[in-house]
Amino acid sequence: MKNIFIFGYYGFKNLGDEAILASIIKTIKENDSSAHILALSYNVDYTEKIHGVTGVSRNNMIEIIKAIRVSNLVISGGGSLLQDVTSSRSLVYYLALVLLAKLMSKPVLFYSNGFGPIKNRINKILTKKIVNKVDKIIVRDEDSKRAMEDIGISRPIKVTTDATFILGGTGSDRALEILKDEKIPTDNPLVGISVRPWYFKESFIGTMAKFADYLSDKGLTVLFIPMQMPKDLEVSNKIIKKMKREAYVLKGDYIPEDVLSIIGKMQILIGMRLHALIFAGIQGVPMLGLEYDPKIPTFLKSVGQKNMGMLDKLDLVNLCIEFDDLWSSREQYSQELKEMIKHNQEIANNNKEILKTMMG
């Protein structure tokens, strides 16, 4: 029986990262149903309950060392784990896991990772030295490959796409059941909004509140969709408090596949969170992206969807104009989006063959 250790930003109830983990687990099991999977987690009970794998506490280095020691393969299951925008501490932490694995002579696979940005000179040197020891590197976009090469990573880098493109939802009936339980009306068209905490000015909250009122005045039901509890819920509620009209927000804790299905009920999604946008793409839901990180415009460009630009430069009038344009042509945008996503899903399936080779 193969033991596989996956590390990432798991157990924090971030649905994007949980979707990545679910996708990697699905791919591993398709290759080898008997594989024993261990996953790094902030909340071991949550990870074991949601994913049915063995959780390893990210705060217990002895347990982590044991997990790596018994593993036949170590997987970096990003997102963008290697970046120093949020902090250097997390970058050093994940690099240490790679180094530990290599010191124990374990094969390491970077599985559809994002990469960067890395600003600090010392961090760049450290990352270059350690990542050049990795056995196989797969990144989710060309920008990540370029960022790796720019700091001197010389290992071969294969570009595929985000791991979550292979994910499926729990179905339309489940989505409607959740909306009913949360008392969210479905008699008018639904428009989803996904926001997250960031270093934006208070004016962003006001702009989004006025925009949501504009949508409501058009006879649309506005639903805020948190992708990480409780952080996104708090920002969503701040916007709703500033609104003059009624809006709704998902309050429950749901698995990624549930939220994927709920987003499938939207006519349009306006989003900051990458995986809210990816979920919309999987469901053929046209989108307006709100940029806070380079990964957002990279994704939007890859699927031909609208980028509203940086948060602090967000213009209410332009937002409303772009929404109206998207609304009037949403069926055309949806059809084009489905074609592009189909291509991404085919590319994501390449990961399965690479993983199969690494599993031996």
Q: Which amino acid is at 142?
A: E
Q: Could you tell me how far CA 163 lies from the centroid of its own chain?
A: 9
Q: What are 43-51's contacts with CB under 8 Å, separation 24+? A: 43/11, 43/12, 43/13, 44/11, 46/11, 46/13, 47/10, 47/11, 47/21, 50/18, 50/22, 50/255, 51/18, 51/21, 51/22, 51/25
> pTM for the whole thing?
0.95
Predicted pLDDT of residue 350: 86
Q: Tokens for 53?
A: 């794998």
CB-based contacts of 220: which residues, under 8 Å, 6+ apart?
A: 188, 189, 190, 191, 267
Predicted pLDDT of residue 349: 86
What tens digit of pLDDT does each residue of 50-68 get? Answer: 999 999 999 999 999 999 9
Predicted pLDDT of residue 86: 80
Predicted pLDDT of residue 252: 96
Distance CA 186, CA 301 (A): 31
Q: Is 123 helix (H, G, I), strand (E, B) or coil?
A: helix
Angle between the N-to-C axes of helices 172-181 and 256-263, in degrees from 0 to 180, rounded to the nearest 10: 90
Distance CA 194, CA 275 (A): 10
Q: Which residue ranges form the domains of the chain, and what is each CATH number? A: 3-159 (3.40.50.11720), 172-344 (3.40.50.2000)
User: What stretch of H or E contains 303?
Assistant: none
Predicted pLDDT of residue 74: 99
Alpha carbon distances (Å) from 310 to 14, 200, 306, 313: 22, 10, 13, 6
Spans of the chain below 70 pLDDT: none
